[in-house]
Structure 1
């Protein structure tokens, strides 16, 4: 497939890399500020701790601890939230530097506490430093500036504790034993961060492989319908070319040649759609209208829908803007359409409805989670099949679990749809009864994003 001359290869590669950096920035925002309850508890705990520290020690520097932490957090938050849609590697490196500043602004006071001769302060300081290490492992960072930088900051803090702690009269063997124990602790932190990094990268790679397998499975199903279309197009091309040989009139010959050319262009358009859809590429998030995406998906999926199934599309007049990976959205929607069609072997009605809805407290999703309150673009795919039994309803989203006969399904379709929705800040909702099943994909509206 030729690349359009207006989109150089370097430009496309740069755009994909920019999208990956943008996703990393979004991930950093979610990790640091995504859980409101934890964030409030973190800030209140620091303020309360500084008050207790001042009351216990009388140190004036106790007030500098939360102040410095809040200033560092404000800089980090401001930087992340003001990044453009086009992000660079430099943005991620600056973000790493600001995060290490936050880590330092938190750890310096526990290090001071741990370097005292007071048992209470040593215990409290050591506990807070251990808490910071647990938080580093929990983050699951994969970028080296975050991983190595975090280890370096923690190591420096432990060395500072050893350097400033008075060991007057202490046994040298005990002193060196404490130092070695601290270094071993930092070493295990580094190992835990590396294992966490490796596990996350493997999980991402496995998700991408599963996504690609689902895409290729859908492409294989589409190919059967496309073959019929191609046969019609080739018949038109060959017939018009043969007719052009026989026609003596130049105008008539040009007319049939134009018809052949038009059929060839239609075939080219179908091939381009399949190639774009089946390509293996990094996730590339773009702003799009859900209604347009559904209409484009139906242009591909209509070949999978037999004549016995009636299709009903319903969309609002206004656009529903979301930020998603186009290819992943297509894969998710085609999987839902395939499931709906398979549920109606004798025919029925397939309804695809898009709408703007507000999630309320307590909206239960297919994975048992609760969707955060907010505005969402919702895509509902409904069938009039026999439905899913109650005992299977919560299992069908599990990988490799399928209610279809052996050889008819991989068991990855709904789990992939669920993963897609989660990765984009949304959720999958399943409602089923003996008269049919409704699968709803909830995606945050662009205007509803924080």
Structure 2
């Protein structure tokens, strides 16, 4: 196959994907705007049919909706050659715009004052839409500018009074040119501002990702360094001591360090949602009861432990062991929050909607509901900055050596891998951490 010459149009796969993504977002990114647009087209076609008694209005509306549907399928098609897909989408974009503007142009030249007024409204709506829509590729911006000038020329020709002096005609032409120039400047500046905003947002996201990766890597390196120091230190001392009991103690300490390393790996896999879960049907009340029994043994007597769960059986679809461990982490966090004296509540509630929505309204119909496990305390709560980072891995406000910062992040990873979500509600009256999980019949 011969290489394309300099006169042929060359395509870059990455640029094509970017242009198609921008087109898809600009045309179909806002569902509300799309519904308003389609509704307006349908109402306009029906109104024109009722006013003129011809089928031109419904045919125009049907053609627009058909072109809109075809353009959507072209933008979302898979397996099509890259260059042909872009050409098809570019043609669909231009065709869709021209189909829409065909009706206002027809109404402008029809000579009916009422239809001319409707045409002016349609043109204004088009101008607002082109300024309102998100960022588009460069070719779409150029095309929109050309279409805007075409409409200005048509409007000037249609409304130009007959029999006026050349001076008045020149003045009208200058005013129309000013409007066209102002529209062009506004359109270009708006699109450029949105493009810069998108790039700035992407840069900010990249910086946040790199910061999170650095913090994650640093946390893992720090914890593993401590574990390896304990393991290697005990193993080196093993050859220095002769007492059998001391050797056994050193081996035991090294084994404990290895277990901590294994637990760290399990927590990281849970955060990354790579742990294999043993998902089964369990009674959520039994899980909460067992948690309360263990928590009561661990918590100081000055901390009051309260509980709440449904009277009827409520089955959760989850890994019971992982769920119990996640809830236990939350109880330990609540203990730290109340500082040794206060109240901790363990609750199970039936909540409306799917688990991924993580709603908060009680459910009346179990068929459209999920379960919410809540660990709440009456401590001082978290400030907004801490609350926004509470679920980040290795983020902790505890002193060095008092916590790894993986409790909430592990619980969040488990909840999302189980088809649910984790939510945090905090304030001066305390903090509540909620794990939403699917309900099992």
TM-score (norm 2): 0.52
Q: What secondary structure is seen at the aligned counterpart in 2 of 1:230?
A: helix
Q: Could you say which residue in structure 2 is the equivalent of 1:113?
A: 107
What is aligned with 2:74? 79
1:408-427 matches, within 5 Å, as 409=385, 412-413=388-389
> Which of residues 154, 176, 180 is equivalent to 1:179?
176
2:29 is the counterpart of 1:31: yes
Checking the alignment, whether the CA contact within 8 Å between 2:41 and 2:61 is kept in structure 1 is yes
User: How far apart in 1 are the matches of 2:334 and 2:132?
Assistant: 39
The corresponding residue for 1:384 is 376
The separation in 2 between residues aligned to 1:338 and 1:100, in whole angstroms, is: 61
Deviations 1:128-158 (A, max 9, x none): 2221222233332254344444334434443
Q: Distance in 1 between matches of 2:135 and 2:101?
A: 19
Partner Cα distance (2:197, 2:214) in 1: 27
- C-alpha displacement at 1:227, in angstroms? 2.9
1:104 aligns with 2:98: yes
Of 103, 107, 131, 2:125 maps to 131
Q: Paired residue for 1:437?
A: 432
Matches within 5 A, 1:52-63: 52-57=47-52, 61-63=56-58
- Equivalent residues in 2 for 1:20-419, closer than 5 Å: 27=25, 31-32=29-30, 34-35=31-32, 39-57=34-52, 61-83=56-78, 95=89, 97-115=91-109, 117-141=111-135, 143-162=137-156, 168-170=162-164, 171=166, 172-180=169-177, 181-209=179-207, 213=211, 215=212, 219=216, 223=219, 227-237=222-232, 240=235, 317=317, 343=337, 345-346=339-340, 358-359=353-354, 382-386=374-378, 404=382, 409=385, 412-413=388-389
- Tell me how far apart the structure 2 counterparts of residues 201 and 64 of structure 1 sit (CA, whole Å): 41
- 2: CA distance, partners of 1:205 / 1:379: 38
State the alpha-carbon separation in 2 of the partners of residues 338 and 89 from structure 1. Answer: 58
**Which SS does the other structure have where 1:384 is aligned?**
strand
1:342-386 residue CA offsets vs partner (Å, 9 max, x unmatched):
745549979899x997359x99779xxxxxxxx999896743322
The 3-state SS of whatever aligns with 2:378 is coil
The 3 A distance-change label for structure 1 pair 384 and 188 is: closer
Structure 2 unaligned spans of 5+: 1-11, 242-250, 280-297, 306-313, 320-329, 362-366, 393-407, 409-420
Whose radius of gyration is greater, 1 or 2? 2
CA contact (8 A) 2:352 2:370 kept: yes
- In 2, the alpha carbon distance for the partners of 1:308 and 1:185 equals 69
- Spell out, residue by residue over 1:6-40, the C-alpha distance to the aligned partner (whole angstroms, 9 max, x if none): xxxxxxxx9999997897687457525x23xx544
Per the TM alignment, residue 121 of structure 1 is displaced from its structure 2 partner at its CA by 2.9
Aligned partner of residue 377 in structure 2, secondary structure: coil
Quote the Cα distance in structure 2 between the aligned partners of 1:67 and 1:239: 79
Q: Give the Cα–Cα distance (whole angstroms) in 2 for the partners of residues 339 and 96 of structure 1.
A: 56
Deviation at 1:176, TM superposition (A): 1.4
- Kept in 2, the 8 Å contact 1:380–1:439? The answer is yes
Q: What's the C-alpha RMSD, in Å, of the aligned pairs?
A: 6.3
Cα 1:210/1:229, change in 2 over 3 Å: closer
Equivalent residue, structure 2, for 1:303 = none
Contact 1:46/1:66 (8 A) holds in 2: yes
* Cα displacement string for residues 181-203 of structure 1 (whole angstroms, at most 9, x for unaligned residues): 23432332332333333334434
TM-score, normalised relative to structure 1: 0.51
Change beyond 3 A, Cα 1:62–1:173: same
Q: CA 1:378–1:63 in 2, change beyond 3 Å: closer, same or farther?
A: same
Figure out how many residues of one structure are paired with residues of the other and give that number: 336
- State whether residues 50 and 63 of structure 1, in contact with CA within 8 Å, keep that contact through their aligned partners in structure 2: yes
Q: How far, CA to CA, are the matches of 2:25 and 2:368 in structure 1?
A: 20
Deviations 1:292-339 (A, max 9, x none): 6x9xxxxxxxxxxxx9799xxx995579xxxxxxxxxxxxxxxx9999
Q: Deviations over 1:200-232 (max 9, x none)?
A: 44345445545655x369639x72x86344222
Query: Retained in 1: the 8 A contact 2:22–2:135?
Result: no
- Aligned residue for 2:29, secondary structure, equals helix
Deviation (angstroms), 1:72: 0.8
What displacement does 1:290 show? 9.9
